[in-house]
């Protein structure tokens, strides 16, 4: 292995000297010795970047990368931070909090009535006067298979729905209707 490296290094050394001789013979009026030394130095530095590291017997080049941290990015929020109400935020800003409130309520009350949704959202800080909820029973007095509830935030609504016919709990952000409300059809009066 050492002979191969010596032979390889010797070939490079002869190539460097030959290159400087050719370069030196083409330039007249300059000190050839200084030019040869400068040429050897330049080419030697160039070849040094291509040579194998002394600790690397396999002869593979080594590289060292240095990462510069991006200081322009905002610090990441902790992953376990619970969502919170954004008082001046949009409906989209508050959707995650809305969902977390309803999920917590559903964990303690698996078959809630409409009032349970409203009470949980009011307790979480949402504006009761901006809420709507559908009825718990049909016109025939039979329990409904899905309840819808909403909170209006400026010109948008967070609308939630839960029940067996809807496949469990779901929510969306939607624009307010032309009537200025969030839910279609008759809703229950929130008078408690």
Query: How far apart are alpha carbons 182 and 155 in whole angstroms?
Result: 10
* Partners of 149 in the β-ladder: 133, 160
Any idea which of 80-84, 126-130, 175-179 has the lowest mean pLDDT?
A: 80-84
Query: How far apart are alpha carbons 76 and 98 in whole angstroms?
Result: 22
Q: What is the pLDDT of residues 130-189, one digit of tens each?
A: 999 999 999 999 999 999 999 999 999 999 999 999 999 999 999 999 999 999 999 999
Question: How would residue 67 be classed by pLDDT, with cut points 50, 70 and 90?
Answer: low
**Mean pLDDT estimate for the chain:** 76
Q: Which residue has the tokens 């809807």?
A: 166
Q: What is the pLDDT at residue 42?
A: 42
Q: What is the pLDDT at residue 81?
A: 82
Query: How far apart are alpha carbons 125 and 108 in whole angstroms?
Result: 19
> How distant, in Å, are the alpha carbons of 34, 47, 65, 106, 189 from that of 136?
98, 82, 64, 16, 12
* Sequence-separated (6 or more) residues with CB below 8 Å from residue 144: 134, 135, 136, 137, 138, 163
Q: What is the pLDDT at residue 74?
A: 54
């Amino acid at each position: 292995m050492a002979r191969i490296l010596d032979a390889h290094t010797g070939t490079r050394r002869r190539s460097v000297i030959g290159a400087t001789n050719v370069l030196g013979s083409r330039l007249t009026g300059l000190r050839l010795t200084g030019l040869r030394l400068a040429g050897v130095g330049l080419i030697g530095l160039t070849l040094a970047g291509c040579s194998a590291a002394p600790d690397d017997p396999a002869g593979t080049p080594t590289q060292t990368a240095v990462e510069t941290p991006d200081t322009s990015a905002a610090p990441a929020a902790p992953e376990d931070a619970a969502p919170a109400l954004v008082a001046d935020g949009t409906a989209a800003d508050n959707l995650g909090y809305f969902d977390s409130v309803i999920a917590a309520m559903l964990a303690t009350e698996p078959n809630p009535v409409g009032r349970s949704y409203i009470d949980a959202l009011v307790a979480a800080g949402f504006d009761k006067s901006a809420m709507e909820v559908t009825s718990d029973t049909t016109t025939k007095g039979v329990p409904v298979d899905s309840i819808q509830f909403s909170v209006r935030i400026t010109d948008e609504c967070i609308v939630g729905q839960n029940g067996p016919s809807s496949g469990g709990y779901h929510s969306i952000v939607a624009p307010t209707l032309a009537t200025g409300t969030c839910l279609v059809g008759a809703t229950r009066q929130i008078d408690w």
